[in-house]
Structures are given as C-alpha cells and as structure tokens.
Structure 1
Amino acid sequence: MIDWLDDTLPPFFPDTHQALDDPNGLLAAGGQVSPRWLDEAYRHGIFPWNDPDEVRLWWTPAPRAIITADSFRVPRTVRKLIRRSQEAGHTISFNQAFAAVIEGCSAPRDYQQGTWIDEDILENYQRMQHAGRALSIEHWDARGELIGGCYGLLKGRVFFGESMFSRQPNASKVAFGQAAPLLFAAGIRLIDCQMHTQHLAQFGAHEVSRQSFEGQLEQHSQQAFSLRLPALLLSHERRP
C-alpha cells in the first residue's frame, strides 16, 4: 500500500523507508511535477516515473546506482569512440538545446513501447532548466545536427541523471564520457544513476545502500554551489 499525494497541498512525501521492495522503490502516487514538487522530491532522492496513461508515480529504489569522482572511468572502447568522433569533427556542448534533448529522450525506442516523458515532464523540466536547476549535454555531428545527449536535474553538487538518447550508435556514450569529467572537475560530487545498468556500470556506476546514498545526498545537495561549465565542451577539427 502506498500513500496518495494531494496535489492541492504543499509538496510532501512519505519517509523513503516506506518504499516498497516489490516493485523496488515505489513510494507514492499522485502529486504534481511542478518545480516545487520536483525540488522537494529530488531533495530526498525521489523521482517521478510512470507511463503517460497512468497516475503519477514516485520512486526511490534501493540499492541505488551512483557514480562518484573516485569511481568514474572511461572504458577503452568509449575512449576509442571519443577519439573517432573528435576526428570526425563532432562537438559536445552543455545546455545549448535542452528542449531538443528531452524531446529526443521522449521518443519511443526500438526496444520499448511508448515513453514515460509526458507533456508535464517536458514542460516542467524545461522550467527547471530555465531556472538553472537542470542540465543537458548535447552531441553534435560535423554538420551541426543533434545526434545524441542526456539531461538531468541539479541540486547542490549532485547531478540527477534522467535519460539519454542516441540517433547514431553510441552517441550518448560519447557525450557522457566527455562531459562527466568536466562535471566532476567543476565541483559535482555525485551523479545519481537511479538504477544499475551495464551501460552505466562501464563508467563506474555502482550500487550503494539507501543509508549510504541518502547520507551522500544530504551532504552534497545542501551545499551552496554554482556550476560553471563551458557552453562548448569540445571542438576538434578534422585531421587531414
């Protein structure tokens, strides 16, 4: 049994230890995805995820997959992909096309039906980005076309990764592999990956207990911090 959140009241979530074990992390239903609700949710490591035709569902799975500066790595195969993309004249940028990235992430995938990114998510996460509380990473080909990227929310020194997309093979891997080191260098201490996947494990994602995750979240998300990143991360001219 999970709690129903009244969207006519100020945002409030149950204690995360009330989340179900099956399905893992389901905590509550209802509420809104307005910036106020999102701020309160992510402060506790809670995020929305549901099919568009379902009621709003809120999750906080345990164990939690995270990447830290100490655990992050770029595997050899991705380093080769990065080098090839550089030689092909590709560029990586921050926050230059947030709307296009989240719309790219909302497109149905070959391996799944539908999407969980509905119109409310599209609208309100863009509002968060306009307020400086969300971030997109873009991968552009040599013609200036967006071929992949990822986005997430920012709170203190924590980046909550939300979704990735690729229109060419490995485009999101190349983007993340180049952007993450700059995020850590700029002061991010924790990247929340939500659930463990092999895709993220190759970058150093590992699982920690709820207690460990929420301790790190409290430590790093409450710090006053202004993330400073270059608009254009990388530009590499074609080699002869």
Structure 2
Amino acid sequence: MEQVKEKILEVLSAVLPITLVVILLQFTIIWLPMEVFIQFLIGAVMVTTGLILFLIGVEVGLLPVGEMIGSTLPKTKKLWMLVLFGFIFGFVVTVAEPDVRVLALQVDQVSNGAVPKNILIYSVALGVGLFVALAMLRIIFNISITLLLFISYALVFLLALFTPGEFAPVSFDSGGVTTGPITVPFIVSLGVGVASVMRGKSSSGDGFGLVALASIGPILAVMLMGVLYG
C-alpha cells in the first residue's frame, strides 16, 4: 500500500501542474471550446490513472524480471545466447515503447504515408536491438564505453552527410524516443543483471551506459533508411 501511495504522489506531482496551467489558460487567454476542454480533463484523469498503474507495473514486474534475466544468461556460459537475447529484448521492448509509436504516427501523417509508421518502428527497434547486443559484448570484453560512443557518433555524423535533409532530424528524434518508460527500465536492469555476475566486473561501472549506446542505434538505422528512401 505504501508503494501505491508513493506512485500516486509521484504521478500527481508530474501531471497536476500541467493540468492546472491549462485550466488557468482556459479561463484567461485561450478559451478552448468547452467540448475540447472537457476532453482534456477526461484525458488528464486517464493519463494519471494509467501512469500510476504503469509505474507500479514497471517496479513490480519489468525491473525485477529484467535483472533476473540479465543475471541468469551469463551463467549459461554461451556468448552467442547472451548477445542474441540482448538483441531480442532490445527489439521487442522498443516495438512496445509508446514514445516510438507516437513519433512513427506523426512522421507517417506529416509525410502523407511516404514513411510508413511500421517501417519506422521496426527500423528503430532493429537499431536498438543491435546496439543492446553490442552493449552485451562491451560488458563481456570490458570495452571502453568512451571508445564505443566516440566511434558510434563519428559514424552518425559521417552518415549524416549522405542522409536526406528530412530524415536527419527524424533520426535524432528516434534516438530520443527510445529512452522511454518501457525501454529504459528493462535495458538498464538487464545490463545491471549481466554485469553483476560477470567475473571482475562492477555492476555500477558496466551495467550502465546501455541506454546511451542503445539510443545511437535508431539514429543510424533511420539515417540508413533515409539513404535507401532517398
């Protein structure tokens, strides 16, 4: 019960200020149609309820399961299995990420269907999956994250030279939306779990940085998609 109370207060502190600002603007400046304003209030209630349930679900389900999976896979002593499941988990949690779907829908609408939303979603998910797999290799072989980030961003800026102008901003937004409420908890807990059982590894030093790497994958994937579409 204490956990539920804590999540309720956390969500209210995030949603209530925005709601109050819109209500203030409604009766002072903007004067939206009453139907639209009522829809906003209903939506705010639904968002608040949904976020409370979602955050409880993440803490109760996603975080423990991700860490347990991450701590179990290295015990198989099979490198390919750790890398494969890193890719699979990175892919599937990104497909389920709400932020990715919102971006894909907006791009689909703005481009009049020229960039189908499903193609964008799966491209972003593929990029995340590949870089989560790379992050697993980083933990195993103790590769410097600074080196990986330097090489990855060098590839990003190099590829940007050949990417059509309309795809470059979408690619960077794609990297941002992967740091959403589903992808981040699962990937971080997975990395901490893997690092915690690797011999000579520090879970605090090696279990983090996965999100930084994972967010580069979608940028490269969407840029490549832009090159192909262009």
Normalised TM-score (structure 1): 0.25
Give the number of the structure whose residues are more often strand, by fraction. 1
Structure 2-normalised TM-score? 0.26
Q: Compare CA radii of gyration and give the structure with the larger one.
A: 2
Q: Report the structure, 1 or 2, having the larger helix content.
A: 2
